[in-house]
Amino acid sequence: MLKPDRIYNGKMKTLLSAILFLCLFAANVHLYSSTGHDVAIDCPLCGTKVSYWEQLSYSIFTYGLDLKPMGAARIPQPIPKCENCGFAFIEDYFNDEEIKTLRHHIVDQNAFSGKENFPDYYYLAFETELLNSKNYDEVVYFYVCSVWEYSFSKLTAEYMEKEGIENVNGINFETDKFIFLMQNAIEKINYLDNDSGQYNNMQLVKLDFLRRSNLFDEAKALIESIKNNERIYQGIAVDIIAYQIELIEKSDVNEHYLNEIEKND
């Protein structure tokens, strides 16, 4: 149930991990402290050298109510993004034909113009959506990841402000953009097929994004529909729904985690 990442296999598996809340601020080089290393690779679109932090191992402590894994790691897994052409990618995820198509859209037709300072996963999702060759579940998943990634920026920005730390890493966070990313993910979730393997999980993700976007009436309507769907309304989902109702009653728009439910019991 709580494995929105199960659509991935092999190398993709290493992509999925949790953001680190406690260690987040311990390391000033990478802002997080899971095991990994710096990797330099060539951008498949324009050939520019791209370096990024490849996270290799991590542990997960709990999940957000939006099913985001949380632990001693950065979630979602950092991915390379070319500073020259803006291409965000996962190594070996796009085949040669897809790279050709994307080069046309991004380099020749400037598909990213007007889209500045979005999370890396937003670009990855957008690229995946441009192709007809990928599974729509993955498009939705990457858009959800863009919210998870931006939430990491939010935590980091809030922490730096609280501690008076200079923003040397260029952390960018805007509330309007955060709301946009959640709305955008909800819209993509709405187009998921009922029989998609991601459908049930994504209803819970959508519910959390609705609540955090202050759309309480829509959240309540979704709760009713989830309660009437026995494929979703079972196991931990029952606890999640009870907690969401509690949070909505308090007009709480913050992020919350499954381990809070366990503590409440």
- Quick check: 84 binds Zn ion (CB under 5 A)? yes
From 34-42, 68-76, 86-94, 193-201, give the range in contact with Zn ion by CB under 5 A.
86-94
Task: Name which of 86 and 119 has its Cβ closer to Zn ion.
Answer: 86
- Quick check: 46 binds Zn ion (CB under 5 A)? yes
Nearest distance from residue 100's CB to Zn ion, in Å? Answer: 14
User: Which of 20, 72, 82, 189 touches Zn ion by CB under 5 A?
Assistant: 82
Nearest to 40 by CA among 54, 52, 29, 48: 52
191 CB-near residues (< 8 Å, 6+ apart): 136, 140
From 48-56, 114-122, 139-147, 183-191, give the range in contact with Zn ion by CB under 5 A.
48-56
- Quick check: 110 binds Zn ion (CB under 5 A)? no
- Quick check: 45 binds Zn ion (CB under 5 A)? yes
**Beta bridge pairs of residue 105:** none
- Quick check: 43 binds Zn ion (CB under 5 A)? yes
Task: Name which of 68 and 81 has its Cβ closer to Zn ion.
Answer: 81
Task: Name which of 91 and 158 has its Cβ closer to Zn ion.
Answer: 91
Q: How many residues bind Zn ion (CB under 5 A)?
A: 8
Query: Scanning the structure block, which residue is given the tokens 């991590």?
Result: 58
SS3 assignment, position 252? coil
- Quick check: 222 binds Zn ion (CB under 5 A)? no
* Cα–Cα distance for residue pair 112/118, rounded to 1 Å: 10
- DSSP labels, 117-149: S--HHHHHHHHHHH-SSS-HHHHHHHHHHHHHH
Nearest distance from residue 155's CB to Zn ion, in Å? Answer: 29
Task: Name which of 48 and 214 has its Cβ closer to Zn ion.
Answer: 48
User: Which of 15, 70, 72, 85 touches Zn ion by CB under 5 A?
Assistant: 85
Nearest distance from residue 41's CB to Zn ion, in Å? Answer: 11
- DSSP labels, 7-53: T--GGGGGG---B-SSGGGT-TTTSS-SEEEEEEEE-TTT--EEEEE
The alpha-carbon radius of gyration of the chain (Å, integer) is 18
Nearest distance from residue 82's CB to Zn ion, in Å? Answer: 3
Nearest to 99 by CA among 42, 156, 161: 42
Binding stretches for Zn ion (CB under 5 A):
43, 45-46, 48, 82, 84-85, 87
